[in-house]
C-alpha cells in the first residue's frame, strides 16, 4: 500500500469513526433538544466561528508549505497562534453581550462565552495537528479525532439528559477541544521547543493577511444563512435549517473531509519536489466526484426517510431544504480541492481576490432569500455554489495550467455513474415510496439499489475508480491470504 493510499485510508477511518459517534449523539440530542434550542446554539456558534477565522493568521499554510521548518519557525508559529487566540477570546467575550441583545436572546451570549473557553487550548492543539498533516501521520490524527468525538458525544448527551438544554452543545464543543489537545500533547513533535517566539513573524504574516481575509470571506458566507434566518424568521427556523445542513454535512464529514487533509499534504509535497499538480488535481477530482455525487444524489432523493429515522418527526420542515442543499453540495464538489491547491502553491493572494469578488454576491443572495422562507434560502445555496465555481475554477486553471476540456474529460464518467446510481433510488420512490409508518424498507432497498447500480456503472464506463476498487480488492485478498497461511497448522 503506497503512502497516499494509506493516508487516505487512515483519514477516512478517522472521519467515519467521528461520524458514527456524531450520528449516535445527534440522534439522541435531536430528540431531547427543540428546534429553537438548536437554533439558538447555531447562532451563538456561528458568530464565534466567524470571529475565530482570525485565529490561524496563516500559521497552517506556512507550516504546511514551508520547505525548511526550523525550531525558530515552529516557535514563531506557536507564538503567533497564541497571541491571536488570546485576542480573539477577549473579542468574543466582549462582543457576546451585543450579540445577545441584537437577537434578543441572552442564551446566545452564554453560548459564545462558553465556546470561547476552547481558545485556551487551541494554539497548541492546532500547531500539532498541522505538523502531523505535514508529516502525513494520519494514524495519530485518527487518535486525536476519535478522542475529541468521544468527549463531545459523552459531554453533550450527558448534559442534555441532565437538563442543560442548548448549553450542553456549547460545553460539548469545549470538551472536544480538550480531548484532542490531550492526545496532541502526548504525540507532540519533540524535536522542537515550545517556548513561543515572534522572531520570524513577518514570514508568517505574509501568508496570514491573505489567508485570514479568505477564510473570513468564506466563513461569513457559510454562517450568514443562519444569521439572516435568525433575524428574519427566529430561532426555530434556524434550528430546522441547521438540521437540514447537518444532514448534508454528514457527507462532507464522511467523504470530503477525509480527502482534504491528504490532498493538501500531497499537493504541498509535490510542489516542494517540483512536480506538476495538474494531473494529480484532475485525477483527484474524478475520484472525488464519482463517490460524492452519487452520495449527495441519494441523500437528496431520500431526505424524508433519513430525517425521520435520524432525528424524529419534529424536524420534518428540514426535508425540502435538505434536498436543495444536497444539490448545492454536488456543485460545491467541483471547488472542494481548490483551497488545497491555493495553499499548497502559496497562491493565497489569488484565493483572497476570488473570495473578495464573490462574497458580496453570496451574502446578497442569502439576505434576499431569507425574506422568503427556508426553501428560498436552501435554493440560494445552489446559486451561491455556482457563483463560487466560475471565478475559483478560472483562478485554479491559471495556477496549475488545467483547461476546461480536461475538466470535462475528468468528469463525464462521474456524471454517468451518478445518473445510474440515482436510478436505483428513483425506482424505489416510484414503486415503494416511503411513508410515515413505512421508512426502513424503502431506505434499505434504495441504498442497496443505489450501491449496485453505482458499482455496475463504475465498471461499465471504465471509470478510474474501477482500477482503485480492483487494487483494493487485491490488497484485501493478499492480507487475508497471508493471515490464513499463518493460521494453518504447519506440516512436519
* Pair 457, 466: CB distance under 8 Å: no
Closest CA to 27 of 306, 327, 316: 306
Residues 6+ apart with CB under 8 A from 263: 284, 337, 340
List Cβ<8 Å contacts ≥24 apart for 454-463. 454/294, 454/417, 454/420, 454/421, 454/424, 456/420, 457/416, 457/417, 457/420, 457/421, 458/290, 458/417, 460/420, 461/413, 461/416, 461/417, 462/413, 463/286, 463/290, 463/413, 463/414, 463/417
Find out whether 220 and 359 touch, Cβ atoms under 8 Å.
yes
Please give the C-alpha separations between residue 359 and each of 71, 91, 353, 354, in angstroms, as whole numbers.
Answer: 37, 23, 10, 9
Buried b (16+ CB within 10 A) or exposed e, 253-274: bbbbbbbbbbbbbbbbbbbeee
* Cβ atoms of 166 and 34 closer than 8 Å: no
For residue 278, the tally of other CB atoms under 10 A from its CB is: 17
CA distance 118 to 171: 9
Q: What is the predicted pLDDT for the residue at 492?
A: 46
Q: Which residues share a beta bridge with 438?
A: 435
Distance of CA 233 to the CA centre of its chain: 27
Q: What is the DSSP letter of 253?
A: I
Find the Cα–Cα–Cα–Cα dihedral 14, 15, 17, 21, rounded to 10°: 140
Q: Which whole-number Å values give the CA distances from 324 to 173, 241, 381, in the listed order?
A: 28, 11, 8
- The three cell numbers of residue 377 are 434560502
Is 285 in contact with 334 (CB distance < 8 Å)? Answer: yes
What CA–CA distances, in Å, run from 150 to 31, 146, 166, 178? 19, 6, 19, 11
Rounded Cα distance between 472 and 169, Å, is 39
Q: How far is CA 337 from the centre of its chain?
A: 12
DSSP category for residue 52: G
pLDDT the model gives residue 417: 95
Question: What number of residues does the chain have?
Answer: 492
Distance of alpha carbon 267 from alpha carbon 445, whole angstroms? 39
Q: Who contacts 61 (Cβ-Cβ below 8 Å, separation ≥6)?
A: 207, 211, 343, 346, 348
**Spatial contact of 81 and 54, defined as CB atoms under 8 Å apart:** no
Are the C-beta atoms of residues 86 and 119 closer than 8 Å to each other? yes
- CB-CB contact of 377 with 241 (8 Å): yes
Q: What is the pLDDT of residue 469?
A: 80
Per-residue pLDDT 10s for the chain (492 aa) are 445 555 555 555 556 666 677 778 888 888 888 999 999 998 988 888 777 666 666 676 666 666 677 777 777 777 777 788 888 888 888 888 998 898 888 999 999 999 888 887 777 777 777 777 777 676 777 788 888 888 999 999 999 999 999 999 999 999 998 888 888 888 777 777 777 777 766 666 666 667 677 777 877 888 888 889 988 898 999 999 988 988 888 776 666 555 555 555 556 566 666 666 778 888 888 888 988 899 999 999 999 999 999 888 889 999 999 999 999 999 998 998 888 788 777 777 888 888 899 999 999 999 999 999 999 999 999 999 999 999 999 999 998 888 889 899 989 999 999 999 999 999 999 999 998 888 999 999 999 999 999 999 999 999 988 887 887 777 767 766 776 676 665 454
The grid coordinates listed for 326 are 444536497
Residue in the structure block whose three cell numbers are 484485501:
476
The Cα-based distances of 156 to 81, 89, 237 in angstroms read 28, 22, 22
DSSP class per residue in 423-471? HHHHHHHHHS--BTTB-HHHHHHHHHHHHHHHHHHHHHTT-HHHHHHHH
d(C-alpha 481, C-alpha 61), whole Å:
43
pLDDT at position 361 is 94
Cβ contacts of 397-404, under 8 Å, gap ≥ 24: 398/350, 399/341, 399/342, 399/345, 399/347, 399/350, 400/276, 400/277, 400/278, 400/281, 400/341, 400/345, 401/276, 401/278, 402/278, 402/281, 402/282
pLDDT value for 125: 75
Amino acid at each position: 500500500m503506497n503512502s497516499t493510499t494509506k493516508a487516505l485510508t487512515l483519514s477516512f477511518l478517522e472521519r467515519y469513526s467521528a461520524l458514527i459517534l456524531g450520528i449516535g449523539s445527534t440522534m439522541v440530542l435531536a430528540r431531547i433538544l427543540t428546534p429553537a434550542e438548536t437554533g439558538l446554539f447555531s447562532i451563538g456558534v456561528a458568530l464565534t466561528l466567524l470571529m475565530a477565522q482570525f485565529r490561524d493568521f496563516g500559521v497552517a499554510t506556512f507550516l504546511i508549505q514551508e520547505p525548511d521548518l526550523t525550531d525558530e519557525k515552529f516557535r514563531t508559529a506557536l507564538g503567533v497562534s497564541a497571541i491571536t487566540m488570546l485576542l480573539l477570546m477577549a473579542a468574543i467575550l466582549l462582543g457576546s453581550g451585543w450579540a445577545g441583545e441584537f437577537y434578543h436572546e441572552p442564551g446566545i451570549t452564554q453560548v459564545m462565552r462558553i465556546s470561547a473557553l476552547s481558545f485556551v487550548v487551541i494554539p497548541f492543539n492546532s500547531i500539532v495537528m498541522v505538523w502531523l498533516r505535514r508529516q502525513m501521520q494520519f494514524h495519530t490524527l485518527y487518535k486525536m479525532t476519535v478522542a475529541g468525538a468521544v468527549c463531545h458525544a459523552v459531554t453533550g448527551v450527558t448534559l442534555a439528559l441532565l437538563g442543560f438544554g442548548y448549553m450542553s452543545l456549547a460545553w460539548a464543543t469545549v470538551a472536544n477541544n480538550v480531548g484532542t489537545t490531550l492526545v496532541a500533547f502526548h504525540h507532540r513533535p519533540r524535536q522542537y521547543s515550545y517556548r513561543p517566539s515572534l522572531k520570524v513573524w513577518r514570514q508568517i504574516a505574509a501568508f496570514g493577511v491573505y489567508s485570514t481575509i479568505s477564510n473570513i470571506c468564506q466563513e461569513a458566507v457559510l454562517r450568514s444563512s443562519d444569521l439572516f434566518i435568525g433575524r428574519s424568521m427566529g430561532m426555530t427556523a434556524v434550528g430546522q435549517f441547521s438540521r437540514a445542513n447537518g444532514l448534508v454535512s454528514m457527507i462532507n464529514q464522511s467523504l470530503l473531509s477525509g480527502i482534504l487533509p491528504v490532498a493538501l499534504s500531497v499537493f504541498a509535497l509535490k510542489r516542494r519536489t517540483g512536480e506538476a499538480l495538474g494531473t494529480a488535481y484532475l485525477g483527484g477530482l474524478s475520484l472525488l466526484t464519482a463517490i460524492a455525487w452519487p452520495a449527495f444524489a441519494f441523500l437528496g432523493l431520500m431526505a424524508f426517510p433519513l430525517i425521520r429515522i435520524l432525528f424524529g418527526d419534529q424536524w420534518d420542515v428540514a426535508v425540502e431544504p435538505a434536498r436543495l442543499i444536497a444539490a448545492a453540495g454536488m456543485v460545491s464538489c467541483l471547488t472542494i480541492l481548490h483551497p488545497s491547491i491555493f495553499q499548497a502553491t502559496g497562491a493565497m493572494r489569488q484565493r483572497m481576490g476570488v473570495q473578495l469578488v464573490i462574497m458580496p454576491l453570496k451574502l446578497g443572495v442569502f439576505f434576499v432569500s431569507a425574506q422568503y422562507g427556508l426553501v428560498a434560502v436552501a435554493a440560494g445555496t445552489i446559486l451561491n455554489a455556482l457563483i463560487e465555481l466560475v471565478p475559483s475554477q478560472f483562478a485554479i486553471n491559471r495556477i496549475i495550467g488545467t483547461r476546461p476540456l480536461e475538466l470535462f474529460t475528468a468528469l463525464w464518467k462521474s456524471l454517468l455513474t451518478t445518473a445510474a446510481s440515482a436510478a436505483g433510488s428513483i425506482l424505489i420512490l416510484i414503486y415503494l415510496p416511503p411513508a410515515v409508518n413505512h421508512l426502513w424498507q424503502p431506505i434499505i432497498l434504495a441504498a442497496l439499489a443505489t450501491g449496485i447500480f453505482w458499482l455496475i456503472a463504475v465498471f461499465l464506463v471504465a471509470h478510474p475508480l474501477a482500477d482503485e476498487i480492483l487494487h483494493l480488492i487485491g490488497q484485501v485478498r493478499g492480507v487475508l491470504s497471508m493471515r490464513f497461511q499463518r493460521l494453518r497448522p504447519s506440516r512436519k
